[in-house]
Structure formats: C-alpha cells, structure tokens
Amino acid sequence: MSDGITPAPRRLDDFDAGPASLARQWSVFSDRVMGGVSVAKGTMATVHGRHALHLTGSVSLEQNGGFIQAACSLGDPPGSGVDARAFRGVALSVRGTPGSYFVHLRTADTRAPWQYYGAPLPVSGEWSLVVLDWGAFTPVSIATPLDVRRIVRIGIVAAKTAFRADVALSELWLTTDN
C-alpha cells in the first residue's frame, strides 16, 4: 500500500457460526456436471474440535472425470469479488487424509468454467496452517496472469488422481504474513 501501512489479515470465512455458516455461499459439486462419475459431499461439521467445512467423496478418472470441489463466492454481494492487492496470498487451516488437493481461484478474467488459477494444497492428519502466495497459483486454460484485483471465487478441490478424498477447512483468510 502506498501509505506504508500493512493491512490486517482479512477473514474470508472462519466457520465460527458452525452449521449456520453453510449459508455463506459454499457450493459442492463434482465432475458429474460434465459427465464424470466422482461423488462429492460437503457438510458443516465439528472436525477434531473445530467448526469446519468438511469435503469428502470419491474422485474417479472414469468418463473423463477427476474432481470434487467446494467453492465459495466472494464479495458483497457474493460473486462481486474482493480486491486482494494489499495481501500476499491466501491462508487456510486444513486437516484431512493426504491426497491430491488444490486451491482454485476464479477472477474477473476467468470466463469459462474450466478456467482457473490453481495451487497445490498440502494436507495432513493434523490441523495445519497453509499459506499460499499469489505466485503459487498457475493459470489453467487461460493465458492471462493472475490479477488479484477481483477474486470472485475460491475453491477447495480434490482432483487429478483417483482416491477417497477427506479434507476439512476451518479458517480461510487473505494474509500479509509468511
């Protein structure tokens, strides 16, 4: 920022409301929207002592499939986006069974459903803080570099490998910290 003041982290969701925070615009879907056979389930639950979004299911590569996802529209109103230029990345508190997980961002530049910016999401059996700098996100099916002036959606994704997915997200924010 030009005034030299570092902004405070901006919470996108912390799930403190428990099951009521599902109304925060989290949607769960799978490759079935395009003919795949993966199965996804998203619930609000208490996972090892924390209110969390719990994404489970089976990722199948059959019929050109290969993903399940929980996604949240950002902004007020939802989908209008957030300006994240003052932040260095996104931070998440996650736990689950190890697997092939990712964070996907959609911006004002992503027009087609298959366009996004993705970064690997390491998951372990213990709650852990994962910080993903903007540089960790690579464009998929889009040539435009990531522009964080208007991030309209964020998603937690299990993809690219056939496996039984189980991941919980208890906090999500934009961060300036390492």
CB 67 within 8 A of CB 35: no
Of the given ranges (6-10, 34-38, 41-45, 108-112), which has the lowest mean pLDDT? 6-10
pTM of the model: 0.90
Domains of the chain from N-terminus onward:
10-175 (2.60.120.260)
Q: Is 154 exposed, middle or buried (0-12, 13-18, 19+ CB in 10 A)?
A: buried
Q: Edge-to-edge, what's the strand order for the sheet holding 138-140?
A: 26-30, 67-73, 151-159, 101-107, 116-120, 138-140
- Return the percentage of the chain with pLDDT > 70, whole number: 90
Res. 109: pLDDT tops 70 = yes
Residues 59-69, mean pLDDT to the nearest whole number: 93
Tell me the average pLDDT of the chain: 90
Question: CA 53 → CA 40, 140, 156, distances in Å?
Answer: 13, 25, 10
Cα–Cα distance for residue pair 97/3, rounded to 1 Å: 43
Strand, coil or helix: what is 113?
A: coil
- Return the percentage of the chain with pLDDT > 90, whole number: 74
- So what's the pLDDT on residue 49? 93
- Tell me: the pLDDT tens digits for 144-167? 999 999 999 999 999 999 999 999
Cα–Cα distance for residue pair 168/45, rounded to 1 Å: 9
